[in-house]
Amino acid sequence: MAVQLIPHVTLTPTEDGAVVLDERDGRYFQLNRTGLHILRSLLDGRTAEEIAADLSNLHPVTATQAQADVDRLHESLRTAGLVTG
Protein backbone atom coordinates (compact mmCIF):
# COMPACT_ATOMS: atom_id res chain seq x y z
CA MET A 1 0.00 0.00 0.00
CA ALA A 2 1.33 3.41 -0.96
CA VAL A 3 1.75 6.13 1.62
CA GLN A 4 -0.78 8.95 1.35
CA LEU A 5 -1.59 12.01 3.41
CA ILE A 6 -4.91 11.76 5.24
CA PRO A 7 -7.45 14.08 3.50
CA HIS A 8 -7.53 16.58 6.39
CA VAL A 9 -3.73 16.97 6.41
CA THR A 10 -1.81 19.59 4.45
CA LEU A 11 1.88 19.71 3.65
CA THR A 12 3.42 23.17 3.25
CA PRO A 13 7.07 23.53 2.28
CA THR A 14 9.09 26.11 4.20
CA GLU A 15 12.57 27.51 3.84
CA ASP A 16 13.97 24.86 6.20
CA GLY A 17 11.75 21.89 5.35
CA ALA A 18 7.97 21.75 5.77
CA VAL A 19 5.03 22.01 8.10
CA VAL A 20 2.44 19.24 8.23
CA LEU A 21 -0.91 20.53 9.53
CA ASP A 22 -3.67 18.35 10.92
CA GLU A 23 -6.70 20.50 10.14
CA ARG A 24 -8.95 18.52 12.51
CA ASP A 25 -7.35 19.87 15.64
CA GLY A 26 -4.83 22.45 14.47
CA ARG A 27 -1.79 20.42 15.49
CA TYR A 28 1.21 20.95 13.29
CA PHE A 29 4.46 19.10 12.88
CA GLN A 30 7.66 20.61 11.59
CA LEU A 31 9.95 18.62 9.30
CA ASN A 32 13.51 19.54 8.48
CA ARG A 33 14.77 19.17 4.90
CA THR A 34 15.65 15.52 5.42
CA GLY A 35 12.23 14.80 6.90
CA LEU A 36 10.58 16.49 3.93
CA HIS A 37 12.72 14.44 1.54
CA ILE A 38 11.65 11.25 3.32
CA LEU A 39 7.95 12.18 3.34
CA ARG A 40 7.90 13.27 -0.31
CA SER A 41 9.73 10.09 -1.32
CA LEU A 42 7.22 7.94 0.59
CA LEU A 43 4.35 9.84 -1.05
CA ASP A 44 6.00 9.23 -4.44
CA GLY A 45 5.84 5.48 -3.80
CA ARG A 46 9.51 4.89 -3.08
CA THR A 47 10.41 2.18 -0.61
CA ALA A 48 12.06 2.81 2.72
CA GLU A 49 15.13 0.96 1.44
CA GLU A 50 15.42 3.23 -1.62
CA ILE A 51 15.07 6.33 0.52
CA ALA A 52 17.65 5.05 3.02
CA ALA A 53 20.11 4.43 0.16
CA ASP A 54 19.58 8.03 -1.03
CA LEU A 55 20.19 9.39 2.46
CA SER A 56 23.35 7.36 3.00
CA ASN A 57 24.69 8.64 -0.33
CA LEU A 58 23.84 12.28 0.45
CA HIS A 59 24.80 12.44 4.12
CA PRO A 60 27.50 10.97 6.37
CA VAL A 61 25.24 8.25 7.76
CA THR A 62 25.27 4.48 7.38
CA ALA A 63 22.55 2.72 5.42
CA THR A 64 21.44 1.03 8.66
CA GLN A 65 21.03 4.35 10.47
CA ALA A 66 19.30 5.90 7.46
CA GLN A 67 16.87 2.96 7.34
CA ALA A 68 16.10 3.38 11.04
CA ASP A 69 15.50 7.12 10.53
CA VAL A 70 13.13 6.53 7.60
CA ASP A 71 11.22 3.86 9.53
CA ARG A 72 11.00 6.05 12.65
CA LEU A 73 9.62 9.06 10.75
CA HIS A 74 7.14 6.91 8.83
CA GLU A 75 5.89 5.33 12.05
CA SER A 76 5.64 8.73 13.76
CA LEU A 77 3.55 10.11 10.89
CA ARG A 78 1.25 7.05 10.99
CA THR A 79 0.92 7.17 14.79
CA ALA A 80 0.02 10.88 14.62
CA GLY A 81 -2.73 10.03 12.11
CA LEU A 82 -1.17 12.06 9.30
CA VAL A 83 -0.57 9.33 6.71
CA THR A 84 -1.91 5.95 5.69
CA GLY A 85 0.15 3.08 4.38
- Phi, psi angle pair for 59, to nearest 5°: -130, 160
Q: Residue 55 belongs to what domain range? A: 4-84
CB 19 within 8 A of CB 6: no
* 85 has pLDDT over 90: no
* 2 has pLDDT over 90: no
Q: What share of the chain is helix, strand, coil (3-state, %, to 5)?
A: 45, 25, 30
Note the pTM of the prediction, 2 decimals. 0.92
The predicted model gives 46-58 an average pLDDT of 94
Q: Which helix (H) or strand (E) holds 56?
A: helix 48-58
- Number of structural domains, the chain? 1
| Residues 8-23 pLDDT 10s | 999 999 999 999 999 9
